[in-house]
């Protein structure tokens, strides 16, 4: 009994050390998404380049695709454009959901659609264009309903419009191979 009591602080110390040490290598951004296995929320949003064309959740059904939340202002999004373009060439369907940042009225910023269209077109020309089309979410309403915390984020959505995967951060060859490729291929079949 005495000996056992002697070891208790030691065991507690080891336990605490292991717990804290493993914490050093865990990703604090990683957590279960609450939109997983739920249908894409209802929305009606314009196409970025053809604003008269309105997209709805219903119209996007029929084929599995990646919904990529991005913006020209977002550095990481620009970095992943090249690899996403490669994926498009391999036959992966990618739809862009454009994350528009709020205009700061205090600095006289006003939302200008034409300027944005030009900026996006230029960016995609320079870095590669992975998108079938882009949906403009000016007030971040669908983005809010999807639980997006920032850009880039990517959703894998099946033919019935159910969200199958939610990835926070950029997509690079490693992430694609380890997390998304198998899930996407299983939906394709």
Partner 1 sequence: MKAFFLSLLLFTATTQASQALIEFQSPEQQALFKELTQELRCPKCQNQNIADSNAVVAVDMRNKTLELVQQGQDKDQVLDYMKSRYGDFVHYQPPLNKFTLILWLLPALMAFGLVLVLLLRRRAERSGAVTESAEQATPQLEQQLDQLIEQYRRKS
- Binding residues vs partner 1 (CB under 8 A): 28, 31-35, 101-102, 106, 140, 144-150
Residue closer to partner 1 (CB basis): 26 or 90: 26
Distance in Å, CB of 122 to partner 1, minimum: 23
- Shortest Å, Cβ 128 to partner 1: 26
Cα distance from N-terminal residue to C-terminal residue, the chain: 62
Comparing CA positions, the residue from 84, 86, 111, 82 lying closest to residue 96 is 84
**φ, ψ (nearest 5 deg) of residue 9:** -60, -35
Say how far apart CA 89 and CA 93 lie, in whole Å. Answer: 9
Read off the DSSP letter of residue 63: S
Alpha-carbon dihedral of residues 54, 55, 58, 61, nearest 10 degrees? 140
Strands (E), 80-122: 94-99
The residue (of 24 and 91) whose beta carbon lies closer to partner 1 is 24
Q: Which is nearer to partner 1, 3 or 52 (CB)?
A: 3
Nearest distance from C-beta of residue 71 to partner 1, angstroms: 10
Say which residues have a Cβ less than 8 Å from residue 148's Cβ, sequence separation at least 6.
69, 99, 140
- The residues that bridge with 68 in the sheet, in sequence order, are 96, 154
Taking the complex as a whole, how short is the minimal distance between the CB of residue 31 and partner 1, in angstroms?
6
Question: Which of 129, 154 has the CB closer to partner 1?
Answer: 154
Least distance between partner 1 and beta carbon 114 (Å) = 23
18 or 82, CB closer to partner 1? 18
């Amino acid at each position: 009994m005495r000996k056992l009591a002697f070891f208790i602080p030691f065991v507690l110390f080891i336990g605490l050390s292991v717990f804290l040490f493993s914490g050093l290598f865990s990703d604090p951004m990683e957590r279960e998404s609450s939109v997983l296995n739920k249908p894409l929320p209802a929305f009606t949003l314009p196409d970025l380049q053809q604003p008269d064309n309105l997209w709805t959740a219903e119209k996007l059904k029929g084929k599995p695709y990646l919904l990529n939340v991005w913006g020209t202002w977002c550095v990481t999004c620009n970095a992943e454009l090249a690899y996403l373009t490669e994926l498009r060439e391999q036959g992966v369907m990618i739809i862009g959901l454009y994350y528009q940042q709020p205009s700061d009225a205090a600095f006289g910023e006003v939302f200008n659609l034409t300027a944005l269209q030009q900026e996006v077109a230029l960016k995609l020309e320079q870095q590669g264009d992975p998108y079938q089309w882009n949906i403009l979410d000016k007030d971040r309403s669908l983005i809010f309903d999807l639980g997006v915390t920032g850009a880039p984020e990517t959703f894998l959505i099946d033919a019935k419009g159910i969200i199958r995967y939610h990835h926070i951060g950029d997509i690079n060859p490693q992430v694609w191979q380890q997390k998304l490729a198998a899930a996407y291929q299983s939906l394709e079949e």
